[in-house]
Structure 1
Amino acid sequence: MSVPVAAGWVAGVSFLFLWLLGVTASFRPAPELDVVSSFACQAAAYLLGLFGVLQLHAPRASIREFLGLRRTHAAFYPLAVALGFALEGPIAALYEQIERRWPSGISDAELVRVFVEASAVERAALGLIFVALGPTLEEVFFRGALTRPMRRKHGAPLVIATTAVLFAVAHVAWQKFLPIAIFGVALGVLRVASGSLVPPILLHATYNAIQCFALLSVADAGHVNEVPAAAGAALPETTSMPAWLVAASSACAL
């Protein structure tokens, strides 16, 4: 798979995702942030993209083998968790500096409000999406479906850089591009070094778990308008955007 083809797959999946969100939003008289619905749209788009990549680039391959769902050296698992904790601070600080220099004019309080108003069961569902399902879905596509066919044609550095950039651009808000691209490089390096998709999923999940814990802490305190500074790079944009685009950023949040 060439770089332009990989970019085309990401563009196609992203447009399908946004279209599904637009259709979903059109059936709501007063659209609001709905993390579950937006994630369902993202999952549908990404899984269709995965199916398309498999059919065109590896029609006879085992899905597990193609995605890299295999065991690796045991040391990569604690390393992935440690990287999740180590990267959270610098990435959040970088995003905060970018947001301060070039303000997006967008509030992140809406997602906090969702957590504040959610029941215990709803919070568990949100946590499952942000910590487990979301990271797995994105890693399956970017470090799985795109990485394997690209490695047949390009060296590891180019593949890591390309998937990191595409991963960042898919997250809607340009203020997040550099922080997320850096995070994508870490995910790509771990994927190539371990030879498995499991460590990147674990790294991504660990990073998201920190953000989710910060959101829950604010929600438990009842401070709807106070957004954890550390969560800035991972929270969705809310105000001054169409509801379907808000949901897009929510589902694509780190």
Structure 2
Amino acid sequence: MNNYSPKHRDKPGAGKGLNITWSALDGIYSILFLAAALTGVYFGSARIFIALSDRQLLSANISNISFIVLYGIQVLLMMGIVWFIALHKRKGRIRDLGLKYYSIGKTLWYTLISLIAIFAISLAYVFVMNSVFAIEAPASKIEILIKNRSISNTVLLVVVAFIGPVIEEVFFRGFLYSAFKKNWGVLPALFLSSFLFSLVHLQLYSFVPLLIIGWLLAYIFEKTKSLFPAIFLHGVYNLILILILLGQFEMIKMY
């Protein structure tokens, strides 16, 4: 019997529930494909950059065009997977990914409370890593790009604070979290989607904070059944970080 037949769709007026027609297995296949594709793109691009500049990819010599092209490939891969599996193959609807309206007031409230929690946890984490383990935070890829003026601030802000949050929330929460929850329940889905979200950022030092942020974003999505609060929180958080880094860079230039 076809488990994805129309009779399994939510009835009209059934409430806030989302009708997830794709499965956890779809999510696993998607992650494996994405990992293989991005690995190929990364190392293929690295060979080109090494040949041209004798520097490693993401070593601070990425032009605006190169950055946009590489990020564009990642966006096309992630959104292509979501479209093909969730919308085309499994006949899902855009609203089932969580792309539907949610109260602006409640969104702002979730964002305020979440930002306070995130920055408190992040500061505590950095303090413990520095004081207890004597490990300092390495420069992130974004910090390197800002310090070396490899990419214009406008491009960086648009990608990191606007495009990135939308793409990542649709893929990791709307698509993956929903698939894992459908087959395995809320708690396993919260952990696994957050783990993958943290892992894909390739930042070992920040793995735990990113894991917590991913868990919080998935939890908000679970509570609201809408991606917009998570997208807004994600975007505001990234925007604050970028503005802090840009401010630090300008202060360093002054002195």
**Which 4+ stretches in 1 moved above 4 angstroms?**
1-5
Q: 1:188 to 1:57 in 2, by over 3 A?
A: farther
Amino acid of the structure 1 residue aligned with 2:36: F
Structure 2 length-normalised TM: 0.73
Q: Distance in 2 between matches of 1:90 and 1:196?
A: 25
* Match status 1:90 vs 2:111: no
Residue of structure 1 equivalent to 2:143:
112
1:73 and 1:194 in contact (8 A); partners too = no
2:180 and 2:188 in contact (8 A); partners too = no
Q: Which has the higher contact order (CA 8 A, sep 6+)?
A: 1
Q: Distance in 2 between matches of 1:124 and 1:96?
A: 32
> Which has the higher mean CA deviation after the structures are superposed, 208-217 or 144-153?
144-153
Residue of structure 2 equivalent to 1:6:
27
5+ long unaligned stretches in structure 1: 225-254
SS of the aligned residue for 1:27 comes to helix
Q: Distance in 1 between matches of 2:174 and 2:159?
A: 19
Q: Distance in 2 between matches of 1:181 and 1:148?
A: 17
1:191 and 1:200 in contact (8 A); partners too = yes
Q: Say how many residue pairs are matched.
A: 221
**Offset at 1:199?**
0.6
Structure with bigger gyration radius: 2
**Offset at 1:98?**
3.8
> Which has the higher mean CA deviation after the structures are superposed, 44-53 or 213-222?
44-53
Correspondence list, 1:227-246, <5 A = none
**Offset at 1:37?**
4.1
Residue of structure 2 equivalent to 1:125:
155
Residue of structure 2 equivalent to 1:222:
252
Q: How much identity, in percent, do the aligned residues show?
A: 19
Q: 1:205 to 1:99 in 2, by over 3 A?
A: farther
Of 203, 216, 238, which aligns to 1:208?
Answer: 238
Q: Distance in 2 between matches of 1:174 and 1:76?
A: 33
Q: 1:8 to 1:177 in 2, by over 3 A?
A: farther
Please tell me the root mean square deviation across aligned C-alpha atoms, in Å.
3.1
Q: Distance in 1 between matches of 2:69 and 2:123?
A: 27
Residue of structure 2 equivalent to 1:24:
45
